[in-house]
Structure 1
């Protein structure tokens, strides 16, 4: 292979996928519709939140892959992980389908599955930890970028409004972003739990003894399911969302904004 061919191949490995461009187009179009109050309010909020959530999942997995590339795993490009194409990831069911289903069922930003990193190519425990931490950090940045304008009231005068519950007049755009921010905060918190199969465990795993890692490894495939089952318990669920609302309150986001956003998101119940 010539230098030109290698360079062209590397460029193609990093070219943004048309699938991701479609997601961005849906996000932009639905965002404009919600901002202006065009069309059915609930359906517009639904599209905006789902598209935004999908974009954040793509960026989450991209962050893992890009950090792994710099850490020494040069195979991530050939696997398509740098193209932001959700169809290229190791497990589309756990990476994208299940997280979206969980949002639809309970409004929980449950983290998804992963890109396949060839860990043996990466030297140094810190690099391994940074690779695992990169994904949740995307959710943290995403959440802050959403919460700051909502909490500061910069979006309270947007044109699109609707009546919720027959008595509350709400601006569509900030409540939609507030609910999307709730998903990002919950995803970051859950993903940072030191549970096998989640990124939180991946951060600490390199620092554990080989014996501990071998003992924990068989439970890794069930970590995500276990978290979901525990969260389905009303007491745990209530405590968890109290923490989510507390964090959002630090940025000035009113809890009612997330409530109205989730109410409009579930347009099929209206």
Structure 2
């Protein structure tokens, strides 16, 4: 379900989910850029991506897909593996999903520590859930996602093959079609992990 449908059902829920997505996607991409920059790759900084300004990271097409289809993407942060090496590339890539898990953990801690408020509970649980979904989805070993690049850093020969595929003109379209075709199983897997995490933190 896209955010447009949610807006029609509940404007407040739309605002909460939209802000949670903007926050989470921004921090995710910033984490990639920040870690890459700190590890010696200036590519993201030169592109203006070491920033918490959402407009530096949101992608027009990805945002449109979120509105109408319920899934989308931010602008990938450019990094140069030659500047980072194998392990630097791994950490810069993993920084995105790890930042989402950190946000989810902070939300769980705040929910446990702060006085109960129905609105606050909805906000924290929404932000927590969005970040778990982003982390799990991005860790899938599918080309163009962080999971495949982490796997490629661990297995250099596979990483070279993935890089060659991603450099092809229609790789993005192929991956989008693949994800759409498997949206049921992928959604089920993410939902199961999300439920497990929510039970684990008591949210």
What RMSD over aligned residues (CA atoms) do the two structures have, in Å?
A: 2.8
- CA shift at 1:184, angstroms? 0.8
Alignment partner, residue 250 of structure 1 = 200
Alignment partner, residue 133 of structure 1 = 94
- TM-score, with normalisation over the residues of structure 2? 0.78
Aligned CA distance change for structure 1 residues 239 and 63 (closer, same or farther; 3 Å): closer
Alignment partner, residue 80 of structure 1 = 48
Aligned CA distance change for structure 1 residues 252 and 68 (closer, same or farther; 3 Å): same
Paired residues, number: 189
How far apart, in 2, do the equivalents of 1:155 and 1:105 lie? Answer: 36
Higher relative contact order (CA 8 A, sep 6+): 1
**Most deviating of 242-251 and 201-210:** 201-210
- CA shift at 1:180, angstroms? 2.5
Aligned CA distance change for structure 1 residues 111 and 246 (closer, same or farther; 3 Å): farther
User: Rg: which structure is higher?
Assistant: 1
* Contact 1:143-1:185 at 8 Å conserved across structures: yes
- TM-score, with normalisation over the residues of structure 1? 0.60
- CA shift at 1:225, angstroms? 4.7
Where structure 1 has 5 or more consecutive residues not aligned to the other structure, the ranges are 1-41, 159-170, 254-270
- CA shift at 1:97, angstroms? 0.9
* Contact 1:139-1:184 at 8 Å conserved across structures: yes
Where structure 2 has 5 or more consecutive residues not aligned to the other structure, the ranges are 1-9
* Contact 2:27-2:99 at 8 Å conserved across structures: yes
Aligned CA distance change for structure 1 residues 209 and 79 (closer, same or farther; 3 Å): closer
